[in-house]
Amino acid sequence: MSRPNFGIPKGLLVTLKNIIRHPVTVQYPDERLVISRRARGTDIIWNKNTCIACRACERACPTKAISIDVSRGEDKKLKVDRFQIDFGTCIACGLCVESCPVEDALYMSYSYERAVYRREDLISSDDELLPGEGKQPSGYAHPEVEKTLTLQTLLLDKDREDSQ
Amino acid sequence: MRSFINYPPAPPDWPGGYWWHWLVFTLIIIAFVMTMALIFIWYERRLVGRFQSRLGPNRAGPFGFFQPVADAIKILTKEDIITSRGDRVIFWIAPIVGFVSVVMIFAVVPFWEGAVLVDLDAGLLFVLAMGVIPSIGIFMAGWASNNKYALIGAIREVALLISYEIPMGLALVGVILMANSLSLEGIVQAQEIPFFVLQPLGFFVFLVASLAEINRTPFDLIEADSEIVAGYNIEYSGAKFAVLYLTEYVEALAASVLLSTLFLGGWRGPILPPVIWFLIKVMAMFTLIVWIRSTLPRLRIDQMMSFNWKFLLPLALINLAVVTLVVFSSLPGWVAFISGSLVLIIYLALWSVIFRRGGKFVQT
């Protein structure tokens, strides 16, 4: 003889508690989760002034998304004529950032909204790779950037710029 | 010859004769049914969302209120397909049979004192009869689709109907005994104390049986999405599907209306106008139905049958015995309440032990 089973009232109580709870869903375009500032997002930020045109990132790229045109200037130094990344083939692996010998030339960004209407719009070059609004360097592979970022624990806060 | 209809049932200050009454109340009932069905569709989706800790549709209009309208427009503009070997005539008639008969239930439901289309002497019999016909519509739909899943759903519906009609009828007998009337108006008049207090057993039995009759979730195995895809309405599309879909919600509305009329005292209530009380009770009953839907999983057909014959039918008979005892020995109301609740609790506890994992017949 086993004890009486109260599974159904228990279940009813569980669903009733959900009514009082705040919904867990995020109304995406209106509110968004604060994601990690250390994430490998879908953007790459390139600093034109500190790049030494060594093409290490181009060689490191497993999908050949990066293409760089390099020429020697009058002072015999290498300079970049064109730095182009096709984000249609970029897999956001971060190997280019890791392979970069210069400390502050190449960063991942933590932004993740890269939907466009045409594939050609995904190819960005030179000045389009500068940091901008909603496109800030992430702490990935850059300890000096990581130090300046706020501490993040739970990434569930909605609609807030800084989550502590 | 004495007529079954007590006319004129109109309120005394109503202008015109019987036909005006008939016209106005028919329009009111159709408007009420359609509006409430749309509101129920919206309300159920929002409420199930909240029960599952999400928001539900909230994009179309304020609070997503126009979502059912958008859905209706989408469904009505879809292509209307009939299976090549299906029975075309029955395929066409089936949704209409279900919808019309379920709307006819509202003809005998009082919205107010005297505000009823026809106050039938045999109102409850009429309700029982009309409540069964949608199942015929569903069986016709399943049969005419010429699809194995549709046919399985339709046959399940018939099996469900045959078994659950019995405890439902027995629960109604309890109501009739206590109210001493078959007319819904008379039953509401008799409820000085709502019947769900006087016979909690009967309320429970009627609630479960009507859940099965309207194919709500613990018993929705006639359209079980995960096994027979959508059951009887698998081949339906376009406007015919819209009517079938609407019929489900009108059935839910009918169940809520009957529950609130027979057990919650219908339009009776203090302070607020009777119609408001009626609507509040209907919404409360529908909320209960949605709550059960969002919590309980679906039963298998054999579980459902054993649940009916081994659990619900004895309970209905016990309820009948308790109510008979209370009525014929004219015991006070609290005796009925306490005895009914005690029996319910003991019975539920006992059966939850006996029915655990199908007794000793299921191997783990």
Read off the DSSP letter of residue B148: H
Residues of chain A neighbouring B350 (CB-CB closer than 8 A): 4
By the CB < 8 Å criterion, does A63 face chain B? no
Calpha distance B348→B266 (Å, rounded): 28
By the CB < 8 Å criterion, does A156 face chain B? no
Give the strand pairing for A106-109 and A66-72. unpaired
Residue B295 and residue A15: Cβ atoms within 8 Å? yes
A102, A161, A152, A111: which is closest to A131 by C-alpha? Answer: A111
Query: Which site among B43, B44, B52 would you substitute to test the A interface, given the most A Cβ atoms closer than 10 Å to its Cβ?
Result: B52
Cβ proximity of B199 and B340 under 8 Å: yes
CATH no. of A40-141: 3.30.70.3270
Residue B55 and residue A15: Cβ atoms within 8 Å? no
Cβ proximity of B176 and B182 under 8 Å: yes
**Side chain identity at residue B84, one-letter code:** S
**Side chain identity at residue B222, one-letter code:** I
- Nearest-CB residue to A12 (from B53, B54, B291): B291
| Under-70 pLDDT residues of chain A | 1-2, 153-164
Cα-to-chain-centroid distance, residue A90: 12
- Reported ipTM: the value is 0.72
- Helix crossing, B313-328 with B200-213: angle to 10°? 140
Alpha helices in chain B (DSSP H): 18-51, 67-76, 88-104, 123-144, 148-179, 184-190, 195-198, 200-213, 225-228, 238-262, 274-295, 301-306, 313-328, 333-354
Residues of chain A neighbouring B356 (CB-CB closer than 8 A): 2, 5
Residue A3 and residue B291: Cβ atoms within 8 Å? no
Cβ proximity of B153 and B142 under 8 Å: yes
By the CB < 8 Å criterion, does A2 face chain B? yes
Residue A18 and residue B53: Cβ atoms within 8 Å? yes
Q: How far apart, in Å, are the Cα atoms of B192 and each of A56, B186, B269?
A: 88, 12, 10
Mind telling me how many Å the CA of A29 is from chain B's nearest CA?
12
Q: What's the start-to-end Cα distance of chain A, in Å?
A: 53
By the CB < 8 Å criterion, does A29 face chain B? no
By the CB < 8 Å criterion, does A15 face chain B? yes
Burial B62-76 (b: 16+ CB within 10 A, else e): eebbbbbeebbeebe
Residue A2: per-residue pLDDT: 65
User: Is B213 strand, coil or helix?
Assistant: helix
Residue B302: per-residue pLDDT: 80
By the CB < 8 Å criterion, does A23 face chain B? yes
Residue A4 and residue B55: Cβ atoms within 8 Å? no
Query: Which site among A1, A6, A13, A15 would you substitute to test the B interface, given the most B Cβ atoms closer than 10 Å to its Cβ?
Result: A15
- Nearest-CB residue to B54 (from A1, A15, A25): A25
| Under-70 pLDDT residues of chain B | 1-18, 355-364
Give pLDDT tens digits for B17-37.
667 777 888 888 899 898 888
B248, B295, B263, B103: which is closest to B168 by C-alpha? Answer: B263
Domain boundaries, chain B: 78-356
Residue B2: per-residue pLDDT: 44
Residues of chain A neighbouring B53 (CB-CB closer than 8 A): 18, 21, 23-25
Query: Which site among B44, B295, B296 would you substitute to test the A interface, given the most A Cβ atoms closer than 10 Å to its Cβ?
Result: B295
Residue B295 and residue A11: Cβ atoms within 8 Å? yes
Calpha distance B63→B66 (Å, rounded): 8
- Nearest-CB residue to A5 (from B50, B51, B352): B352
Domain boundaries, chain A: 40-141
Calpha distance A78→A89 (Å, rounded): 27
